[in-house]
Amino acid sequence: MNVALPMFRETTGAVMVERASARLVRISLTDRCDMACVYCRPAERSAYLPAEERLTVAEWESVLRGLRAEGVRRVRITGGEPLLHRDVVEVVRRVAALDMDDLAMTTNASRLEALAAPLRAAGLQRLTVSIDSLDPARFASITRGGELPAVLAGLDAALAQGFEEVKTNTVVLRGINDDELPALVRWAWSLGVTPRFIEVMGVGEGGNIWRERLVSRDEMIATLGGLVVAGDGARDDDRGPARYLRAADGSGRRVGFITGSTDTYCAGCDRLRVTSDGTVRPCLATEEGVELTEEGKAGVPGAVAATLREAWEMKPDASWKGCTEVTARAVSMLKTGG
């Protein structure tokens, strides 16, 4: 069953177009992934989209060209695992040629060691690497088979390429990895990387565990002790939902927190998501969306604008608590792009 979203009924017409000028679009390049993280997907492999239903490289280019014409200037490439897409470097090259203000990617880094250099050369600006533990056995348990050495090698390769920014994402799970937060911060800072901690959400497979495993932002800060200066934190302009606290030592280093469960950020969300089959979704926590027409996939500006408007009008308002009410069956994070 899909989750019904309350609408931004006042956010239509010219108002929608004005707000779209600062919007980020997340594109789920593929629904395939080589890990099965306990908060994301079931252990059993699900059926993936057949090749004929996935957007081609040319269609991705056309769609993003159409989105750019509607004011979109920031793109984040996700999955599934985007590095499993055989043409990921070419997609990056074509998106970069559209002269976006920001082109970023979220990856598990399992294949990044070989791809970091070509991705940087193609025009990728920023990277976020998912890493939920520095202990190989624990990492393998959380990811259901992921290999930590490969991920660390990928991160090292990325750092050697001089990306404009590299961050790490860690989903914090009570009784599993919540004791590692200080070590993760010190490790990331030693590499010149900004660590971010994410509250587990009741979305996808997380719907089965979040009540038991949720660690709130306040608890995370307490665990970090004197490493950071406590407070509400500040968001980067136009850079997403994370709030950042400064290091207590005055070095300027930061730690980010994404609070999708205890302090939802629906009211300030300026993003839409495009799935690998060409559906524009308004929110991570729903499988409702608007399918791009053939004209939209060809990048016809009017067709893209109509889809963009319809999806935007489906976005939830600030009071919605869907992220903590949906079940694991409601949403596939592999398709939507977590």
Which of the two residues, 2 and 211, has the higher pLDDT score? 211
The answer on pLDDT for 13 being more than 50 is no
Tokens of 188: 């990331």
pLDDT (0 to 100) of residue 238: 56
pLDDT (0 to 100) of residue 20: 39
Most confident residue range from 140-149, 230-239, 303-312 = 140-149
pLDDT (0 to 100) of residue 148: 99
pLDDT (0 to 100) of residue 327: 42
The answer on pLDDT for 250 being more than 70 is yes
pTM, entire model: 0.88
Mean pLDDT within 270-288? 87
pLDDT (0 to 100) of residue 207: 65
The answer on pLDDT for 107 being more than 60 is yes
Mean pLDDT within 71-89? 96
pLDDT (0 to 100) of residue 22: 37
Please state, in angstroms and rounded to a whole number, the distance separating the CA atoms of residues 84 and 75. Answer: 18
Q: Among 32-41, 245-254, 281-290, where is mean pLDDT lowest? A: 281-290
pLDDT (0 to 100) of residue 240: 73
The answer on pLDDT for 330 being more than 50 is no
Mean of all residue pLDDT scores within the chain: 85
Q: How confident is the model at residue 292 (pLDDT cuts 50, 70, 90)?
A: very high
Which of the two residues, 153 and 302, has the higher pLDDT score? 153
The answer on pLDDT for 67 being more than 70 is yes
pLDDT (0 to 100) of residue 264: 65
Cis peptide before 80 (omega within 30 of 0): yes
Which of the two residues, 317 and 304, has the higher pLDDT score? 304
pLDDT (0 to 100) of residue 10: 38
pLDDT (0 to 100) of residue 18: 40
Tell me which CATH code domain 13-336 carries: 3.20.20.70
In sequence order, which residues have a C-beta less than 8 Å from that of residue 10 and are 6 or more positions away?
none
Mean pLDDT within 97-112? 98
Q: Among 80-94, 173-187, 199-213, 303-317, where is mean pLDDT lowest? A: 199-213
pLDDT (0 to 100) of residue 332: 52
Q: Provide the percentage of residues in the chain whose pLDDT is more than 70.
A: 82
Which of the two residues, 338 and 120, has the higher pLDDT score? 120
pLDDT (0 to 100) of residue 204: 64
The answer on pLDDT for 71 being more than 90 is no
The answer on pLDDT for 105 being more than 90 is yes
